Every structure is written in C-alpha cells, then in structure tokens.
Amino acid sequence: MTLTKDESGAETPDPVDTYTPSARRLERERHKRARSRRATAIAAVSTLATAVVLYLVVVNAPGWPRTKETFFNGQYAREALPKVLEGLWLNVRLLLICGAAVLVLGMLIAIARTLRGPVFFPLRFLAAAYTDFFRGLPLIINLMIVVLGVPALRLQGVTVDPVWLGGTALTLTYSAYVAEVFRAGIESVHPSQRAAARSLGLSNRQALRYVVLPQAVRRQVPPLLNDLVSLQKDTGLVSIGGAVDAVRAADIIVGRSLNYTPYIVAGLVFVALTIPMTRFTDWVTARMDRQRAQGGTT
C-alpha cells in the first residue's frame, strides 16, 4: 500500500491503491470471460466437425484415388519442393525490384496527369494514354510481346534476358494501375490544402511535395498493398520466356513425370507467400478506418 501525505502532514492510504472493484463488476467480468471461453469452444468444435465432414466427402468421392495420385503424390511433392523454393527466390527478387520501379513510375505518371495549366496538356495526354493502354492490354499479351517479341528484333545493346524483359513488362502494366491509385489519392485531397500551402509561401512544387502527396499516399496505402499482392503472384508469368522461377521449376518436373503435383506445390508456396501480405493489408486497412472514425487522419 502506498501512503500519501495530506496538507497537515498526516499519512493516509493512496486512494488509487485502495480501489476494489464491486461485486457486480467482478461478476460481469467473470460472465464475459466464461462467454468468451464458450464461444471459443463452440468455434473449435464447429471447425473440427466441418473439417471431418469435408475430409470424408473428399476421400469417398468417385475418382479420389486417381486424383490423389495425379495431384497429391508425396514422392513428387518431396522432389519438387526444393526446386520450387529455389526458383521462388527469383520471384521474390522480381517483386522487390519491380515493386520499387512500379511505385516510382506510377507516382510520376500520376503527377503528370494532375499537372495544371495548358502548357502541361501534352504530358497529361501522354500519361492518360499510357494508363488507358496498359490497363486495357492483357498482362499475358504484354509479356509475350516484350519477352518473346523484343529478342526477335535483334537490337544491339538490348538485353534478351527473359528475367529483365519479364520484369519490364510487369512494370509497364502495374505502373498504369498504381498511377491511377496515386491519382485518386491526389485528387481526394481538398483544394483548400493546396491553397493553404500557397498562402504560407510554398511554391506549387513544394505544396505538392510537402502537403498533397503525404496525404494522398497515406490514404491510398491499402489499394497500393493490394496491387503489390497481385504483382507478387504475377511474377510467376515470367516463366513463359524460359526463366526458371518457381512456376518453371514445377513445369520442368511435370513435363518429365506427367504428374501435376509440382503445380500444386508451387501454388501452395505462392499462397503461403501471399497470405502474410494479405493479412497485413487487412490490418492496415482496419487500422486506418479506426483512425478515421476517431478523427486521427484526414
């Protein structure tokens, strides 16, 4: 117990330390804990029962033995996993490099689309044409044109490495989507913010850099993370040019064995890689929603 001195110098017990919850509050807390434990137990039993039912339905379905041998063969899974993981390192590097390039290029295109004044009309037109074209062009066609078509030109000084060409195609496509995300964020900032910055003596460039862009980027974090999740999965498409990533490593084993288990292994590896980023995106979105509800962000 902590003692405090009053104005006369006498020591009295600290009222904070002497607080004891009422019997009603203790009973309410016990009831809440019991209800939470009961809900957890019910959820666990329900999940277990559902899993058992699904398992029985699947293993007793017609054609399950053949399906198991073709798609869930343990021998080929053990053979494919090390090679798929080795190829996955290429996908991770593509994600890091292309992700950074996409964010920079997307930001530049978005800024070009939001420039004001008739002198910047050509930039606005080109930026709009870029986003419209690459958002409408299927990614797989873009990859085929760049990865397979560019080497056929035999241009001096132009690489024919399918990894670099595939990364270029991914960057071209995803920068168009990210540019629209950034542009939406920039246009969502109220014009009074820019006007206030200008009234404080900031130039248009300074107002954009120090006032508009920080607010725009903060508002668009969840959709940007969603685009990065999609980019993470689509890095597997560079395999069409022969780059040995996780997908191509699985494809080599499938072509030799005519068993499709390696595809399942590669798919599960991508799922395992994507889920953490997806959950992180959900957490960021929920956190920003709570902050907006509390007035924490504009």
The Cα 40–Cα 45 span in angstroms is 9
Question: What is the percent of the chain where pLDDT is above 70?
Answer: 92
**pLDDT at residue 51 in the model:** 93
The candidate with the shortest Cα–Cα distance to 142, out of 163, 164, 165, 125, is 165
This prediction has a pTM of: 0.77
**pLDDT at residue 222 in the model:** 81
In this predicted structure, the answer to whether residue 23 has a pLDDT above a threshold of 90 is: no
Contact 98, 167 (CB under 8 A): yes
Over range 136-161, report the average pLDDT. Answer: 90
Confidence of residue 6 (pLDDT cuts 50, 70, 90): low
Sorted by sequence, the CB contacts under 8 Å of residue 184 that are 6+ apart come out as 220
Confidence of residue 16 (pLDDT cuts 50, 70, 90): low
**pLDDT at residue 297 in the model:** 52
Half-sphere exposure for 292 (CA within 13 Å, toward CB): 10
Burial of 11 (0-12, 13-18, 19+ CB in 10 A): exposed
In this predicted structure, the answer to whether residue 178 has a pLDDT above a threshold of 60 is: yes
* 13 bridge partner residues: 3
